[in-house]
Structure 1
């Protein structure tokens, strides 16, 4: 009996399956591991997918996936002659452009509006921390 052959250059189905599995692992699996390593070293600001639990009193919660700003920005300090003797340049990853989206929360009481509005990041940049869009720590 002749061996079973696939159409891909005379490889057996088992060999072809092994080759495809290896190719997928090398392309996708290795890429995922490399991406995680790159994120640990990433300096900058980017839009990333983020999931949170949207809640408000009188309604049930709803898991929402949106785009948010994420990253680490370069900061530096330099000594100066006048008090406080340090000039700080502390930049944060912050929203530069957003749009608002609204979802309807489940199981709301009759007297509660089920609408929940949240921002979706369109563009993020490293910049000065603005309390209007970002939670900033100003005193330690």
Structure 2
């Protein structure tokens, strides 16, 4: 699961970088995000809730392993490896959820900003035409 989360994290970071700077690829990313969010129903919320539930399960396993090590007083090597793996998975899932929220908000703000700029340019052209007459 760790390689999959690392790949997802890299993809999300690249999408955030595309949305942050005005490049020709940003319009392509906006188009893809528009199509991805349009008419699909609650797919994104279902995926994020599923990821959140897996995160909670991983956190529960972390606390259970810590409790078991506190009861025995020593840390088993197997428990130590499992604890490290669960902590890595939980942190990657948390980062993925956070970056997904950032992508959603950036998409909303960039879309809103581009629309407001097009409205401003249209009203500026309209006022220029009426002033010259």
**Same-fold status (TM-score > 0.5):** no
Structure that is richer in helix per residue: 2
Report which of the two structures shows the higher radius of gyration computed on alpha carbons.
Answer: 1
Query: What TM-score do the two structures reach when normalised by structure 2?
Result: 0.29
Higher RCO structure (Cα 8 Å, ≥6 apart)? 2
Query: What TM-score do the two structures reach when normalised by structure 1?
Result: 0.28
Structure that is richer in strand per residue: 1
